[in-house]
């Protein structure tokens, strides 16, 4: 079920009303959340429910067993490793089986050896990487004594399957989200209104910015060899904003919907295209995933508390794993390697933590230096997104070469509407860069008048549906 679908337009208010005004006890609310979430997820394919239920039950059981064998660290280690291996095996089977089969077949064929593989037509479950990582965080946190295991199986099922963030994040930690299902929740009008504002801004980013950019992106990438460099650059920029509007838009909607149900989800994007270097970009892009890799892979490997060489090794591993997490294609691995190479100079110079504040804080405009840093970082990200969008590494390289060698400084004949929508997005988010999202307005100045705020919301709402592009699936559903 898509957030921007007619089905969800009916699903959300019905679920909201039943949740707050019919099912008022905590346990019944949690059970209702599980049922609603399984309806939401099963809307794509009911068979997906078997897999998420298996993942959830095994992770819940691992927590119970870890507590039971508290006195034996050896048994606990085996239980934790077993559940992690089970979840990763399921993920690899559904997401990476065909990738490994094809690449191993090609490798052995080049050596004159023919392999006869069993062919499996694997249907990739929507969002499997997201809920698998969420389940893994629980087992690891219980094993590391960061959280006590829960015996409330309904609350645990609600934690794993919570429908707003089920299929594309944010990837929540058990330490943050699970406790919220174990305590009473009270309706807050202010929180609900704030959630609605964030939903509205997320819909604008998805339906107006991302979906309109997608039309031009699909056209340009499909016929890139016959187009001039200015068109190719525009196509790359459009995809840069398509994936941002699409993914950050989903996160805004998810966070806003969760607030309607009294649940707080972590922030997943913090205006990444205003970053002054690649390190800052990765602190602001897909925050829930980057911090997951940091806490569960980078730190255990030694993090930065080791030699420069080992720190660079750990960083490379994180970026390569992050790339491979996105999909079973060498383009994603190459995209991860590309960002690792951009990160290394900052690491060697010790400037990877230089920019942790908001750019041009307290000022209307950035300095010349800040503007140059943001533009150069943005262009480096654009090149990375070409690799990410391409179907093969050869296509990515060919696209970049054509973009550079055939550039003629001409104004592309099409795609002007998305440029206007992108400009609106950038202006709003620049003015709101110290806020959580674009429509989080302070009640001061002209916005101290309620009718002005509501007039703005109605304008954004009407504009979103009038200017919406062709409906597209959220890009990160495939991951």
For 162, the token pair is 């919570």
Residue-level pLDDT at 109: 63
Residue-level pLDDT at 475: 79
Name the pLDDT band for 469 (thresholds 50, 70, 90).
confident
Q: How many angstroms separate the CA atoms of 231 and 414, rounded?
A: 9
The 10s digit of each residue's pLDDT in 164-221 is 999 888 999 999 999 999 999 999 999 999 999 999 999 999 999 999 999 999 999 9
Handedness of CA 97, 98, 99, 100 (dihedral sign): positive
The 10s digit of each residue's pLDDT in 34-54 is 999 999 999 888 888 999 999
**Angle of helix 26-42 versus helix 6-21 axis, rounded to 10:** 170
Find the mean pLDDT for residues 18-23: 93
**What is each CA distance from 254 to 251, 437, 448, in whole angstroms?**
5, 13, 27
Question: Residue 431: which of 364, 357, 371, 358 has the closest Cα?
Answer: 364
Q: Of the ranges 105-114, 242-251, 331-340, which one carries the lowest mean pLDDT score?
A: 105-114
Residue-level pLDDT at 450: 84
SS3 at position 215: helix
Residue-level pLDDT at 214: 93
Find the mean pLDDT for residues 150-176: 94
DSSP code of 277? S
466: left (phi over 0), alpha (psi -120 to 50) or beta: alpha
Find the mean pLDDT for residues 438-455: 85
Residue-level pLDDT at 180: 96
List, as one string, the DSSP characters of 156-167.
HHHHHH-GGGTT
Residue-level pLDDT at 119: 56
Q: How many angstroms separate the CA atoms of 35 and 40, rounded?
A: 9
Residue-level pLDDT at 217: 93
SS3 at position 269: coil
Find the mean pLDDT for residues 77-92: 93
Residue-level pLDDT at 116: 64
The 10s digit of each residue's pLDDT in 368-413 is 999 999 999 999 999 999 999 999 999 999 999 999 988 877 666 6
The 10s digit of each residue's pLDDT in 114-148 is 666 555 566 778 889 999 999 999 999 999 999 99
Handedness of CA 409, 413, 415, 419 (dihedral sign): positive
**Which residues, 6 or more positions from 240, have their beta carbon under 8 angstroms from its beta carbon?**
273, 378, 381, 382, 385
The 10s digit of each residue's pLDDT in 411-424 is 666 667 899 999 99
Tell me the average pLDDT of the chain: 91
Phi, psi of 223 (to 5 degrees): -130, 35
Q: How many residues make up the chain in this entry?
A: 479
Q: Of the ranges 355-359, 409-413, 429-433, which one carries the lowest mean pLDDT score?
A: 409-413
Active site residues: 326
Name the pLDDT band for 264 (thresholds 50, 70, 90).
very high
Q: Which residue pairs, CB below 8 angstroms and at least 24 apart, start in 469-473?
A: 469/207, 469/208, 469/210, 469/211, 469/212, 469/213, 469/214, 469/215, 470/211, 470/214, 470/215, 471/2, 471/4, 471/5, 471/207, 471/211, 472/210, 472/211, 472/214, 472/246, 473/2
Q: How many angstroms separate the CA atoms of 299 and 243, rounded?
A: 29
Find the mean pLDDT for residues 84-89: 93
Name the pLDDT band for 300 (thresholds 50, 70, 90).
very high
Is there a contact between 331 and 396 (Cβ–Cβ < 8 Å)? yes
Residue 21 CB burial class (10 angstroms; 0-12, 13-18, ≥19): exposed
Residue-level pLDDT at 64: 95
Look at 344 and 415; give whichever has higher pLDDT.
344
Distance between start and end Cα atoms, the chain: 16
| CA 405 and chain centroid, separation | 34
Q: How many angstroms separate the CA atoms of 5 and 232, rounded?
A: 31
Tracing tokens 């950038």 back to the chain, one arrives at 426
Question: Residue 274: which of 71, 432, 116 has the closest Cα?
Answer: 432
**24-38, 84-98, 296-310: which has the highest mean pLDDT?**
24-38
Cα 21–Cα 22–Cα 25 angle in degrees, nearest 5: 95
């Amino acid at each position: 079920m898509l957030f921007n679908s007619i089905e969800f337009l009916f699903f959300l208010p019905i679920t909201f009303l039943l949740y707050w005004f019919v099912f008022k006890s905590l346990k019944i609310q949690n059970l209702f959340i599980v049922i609603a979430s399984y309806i939401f997820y099963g809307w794509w394919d009911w068979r997906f429910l078997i897999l998420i239920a298996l993942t959830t039950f095994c992770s819940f059981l691992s927590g119970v067993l870890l507590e039971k064998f508290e006195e034996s660290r050896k048994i606990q280690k085996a239980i934790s490793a077993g559940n992690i291996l089970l979840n990763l095996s399921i993920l690899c089977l559904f997401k990476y089986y065909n990738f490994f089969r094809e690449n191993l077949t090609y490798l052995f064929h080049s050596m004159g050896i023919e392999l006869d593989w069993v062919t499996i037509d694997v249907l990739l479950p929507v969002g499997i990487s997201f809920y698998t990582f969420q389940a893994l965080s629980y087992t690891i946190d219980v094993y590391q004594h960061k959280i006590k295991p829960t015996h409330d199986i309904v609350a645990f099922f609600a934690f794993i399957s919570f429908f707003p963030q089920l299929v594309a994040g944010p990837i929540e930690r058990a330490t943050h989200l699970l406790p919220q299902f174990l305590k009473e929740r009270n309706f807050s009008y202010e929180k609900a209104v704030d959630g609605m504002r964030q939903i509205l801004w997320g819909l604008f980013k998805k339906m107006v910015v991302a979906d309109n950019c997608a039309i031009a992106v699909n056209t340009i990438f499909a016929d890139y060899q016959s187009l001039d460099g200015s068109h190719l650059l525009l196509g790359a920029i459009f995809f840069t904003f398509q994936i941002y509007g699409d993914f950050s838009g989903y996160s805004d909607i998810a966070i806003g919907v969760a607030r309607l149900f009294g649940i707080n989800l972590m922030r997943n994007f913090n205006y990444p295209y205003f970053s002054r270097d690649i390190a800052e970009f990765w602190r602001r892009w897909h925050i829930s995933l980057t911090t997951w890799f940091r806490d569960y892979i980078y730190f255990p490997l030694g993090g930065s508390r080791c030699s420069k060489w080992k720190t660079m090794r750990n960083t490379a591993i994180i970026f390569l794993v992050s790339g491979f997490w996105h999909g079973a294609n060498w383009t994603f691995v190459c995209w991860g390697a590309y960002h690792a190479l951009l990160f290394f100079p900052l690491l060697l110079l010790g400037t990877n933590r230089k920019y942790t504040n908001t750019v041009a804080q307290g000022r209307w405009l950035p300095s010349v230096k800040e503007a140059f840093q943001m533009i150069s970082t943005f262009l480096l990200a654009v090149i990375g997104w070409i690799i990410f969008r391409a179907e093969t590494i050869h296509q990515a390289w060919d696209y970049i070469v054509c973009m550079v060698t055939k550039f003629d400084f001409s104004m592309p004949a099409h795609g002007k509407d998305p440029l206007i929508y992108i400009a609106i997005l950038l202006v709003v988010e620049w003015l709101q860069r110290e806020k959580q999202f674009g429509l989080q307005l302070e009640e001061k100045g002209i916005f101290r008048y309620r009718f002005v705020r509501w007039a703005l919301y109605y304008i954004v709402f009407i504009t979103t549906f009038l200017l919406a592009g062709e409906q597209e699936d959220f890009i990160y559903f495939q991951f």
